[in-house]
Structure 1
Amino acid sequence: MCDIAFVPLETIAPDDIIAHMSDPRMATHMPLLDGPWDQDSYQQFMAHKSQYWQRDGLGHWAILCDGDYVGWGGFQKEGEDWDYGLVLRPQNFGLGMVITRKALDLARSDRRISSVTFLLPPTRTKLGALKRMGAVFDGQVSHEGAVFLKYRLDTA
């Protein structure tokens, strides 16, 4: 395996994030992704993610594997919930559980986070790993016009 590091999103070259999010394979499980990204999309994304850090003191990171950018993710406050999201480059999908375990270790050490939610599109049908971690189905939610399956994992 590789050495996983969480670093500020701003440390990643904009072109790397734009290329990642413009990959057509990303839209398969991202119902809110509506086409290729450009510089404006990137700027809006970065401003939005920065607001979470300013408001909550926590948000999304860029994720590195042995120093190479593999995706982004982290915790975002949604109402009363801390939602965990992970968006990996397609060639790095296999790193999902390693990264998630490391992120959940951080959540367990943060007194503010008593549980973590996962919002998954209905296209995600392989949920065995999530259930083995102890996450339980918590209903369906609508977010920006898309339906998501909500799972919850206690971290306390």
Structure 2
Amino acid sequence: MKIELTRLSSVKSSDIIDLMNHPLVRRQMPLFDGEFKPRDCDSFVAAKEKLWADFGFGPWAFLVDGQFAGWGGLQPEEGDADLALVLHPDFWGCGKAIYNKILQQAFGPMGLGSITLLLPTTRVRVSGVIGLGFKEEGIVTIKGHPFKKFRLNKSN
């Protein structure tokens, strides 16, 4: 399996729209309301590209064997580098390998001391996150929605 990290702007909008409207994906994304339309995609990609311009890092598009599998990586969130991993259900089995590739970037070339992870409080199964070494730090609210915040330190 070949995993590539590339910019979201290099992916077809229709692939991103299909992912963002998939019902199994939407269940885990409380900040998105209604249908994700082409204009939403344009704004979304532009905002993610602005992160790269402003901070020097941001989310990637994930390609698995040349196919768009999802998006995520690290993006600035209140002084932290926050991990996101949004995969099409067809690629859920690739999550660990993509996660490892992100960690290599975070704790290698990016030189980060820690990363954070925000999960909706509706996501009750967190043992996998704990098993990866993340420690729960509490609840944060973003746009009126509560999230559990976890941190992984480089030494873990």
TM range (shorter): over 0.9
Counterpart code for 1:94: G
Q: Unaligned stretches of 5+ in structure 1?
A: none
Inter-partner Cα distance in structure 2 for 1:25 and 1:145: 22
In the superposition, the TM-score normalised over structure 2's length comes to: 0.94
Distance of aligned partners of 1:114 and 1:17 in 2 relative to their CA distance in 1, 3 Å threshold: same
Q: Which residue of 1 aligns with 2:45?
A: 46
Matched residue SS, 1:29: coil
Inter-partner Cα distance in structure 2 for 1:59 and 1:48: 10
Q: Which residue of 2 aligns with 1:101?
A: 100
Instruction: Kindly provide the CA deviation profile for residues 80-99 of structure 1, in whole angstroms up to 9, marking residues without a partner as x.
Output: 11101011012212221111
Matches within 5 A, 1:52-71: 52-71=51-70
User: Does the 8 Å CA contact 1:121/1:147 hold for their aligned counterparts?
Assistant: yes
Alignment root-mean-square deviation, CA: 1.3
In the superposition, the TM-score normalised over structure 1's length comes to: 0.94
Question: Runs of at least 4 residues of structure 1 off by over 3 A?
Answer: none
1:111 CA drift (Å) = 4.9
Matched residue SS, 1:70: strand
User: Does the 8 Å CA contact 1:23/1:36 hold for their aligned counterparts?
Assistant: no
Q: Which residue of 2 aligns with 1:114?
A: 113
Q: Which residue of 2 aligns with 1:10?
A: 9
Counterpart code for 1:11: S
Counterpart code for 1:115: S
Instruction: Kindly provide the CA deviation profile for residues 22-41 of structure 1, in whole angstroms up to 9, marking residues without a partner as x.
Output: 11222211101112211110
Instruction: Kindly provide the CA deviation profile for residues 41-76 of structure 1, in whole angstroms up to 9, marking residues without a partner as x.
Output: 011101110111011100011001111110000111
Q: Which residue of 2 aligns with 1:92?
A: 91
User: Does the 8 Å CA contact 1:139/1:149 hold for their aligned counterparts?
Assistant: yes
Inter-partner Cα distance in structure 1 for 2:10 and 2:110: 27
Q: How many percent identity over aligned positions? A: 36
Matches within 5 A, 1:78-89: 78-89=77-88
User: Does the 8 Å CA contact 2:9/2:49 hold for their aligned counterparts?
Assistant: no
Q: Unaligned stretches of 5+ in structure 2?
A: none
1:79 CA drift (Å) = 1.8
Inter-partner Cα distance in structure 1 for 2:111 and 2:142: 23
How many residue pairs end up in the alignment?
155
Q: Which residue of 1 aligns with 2:136?
A: 137
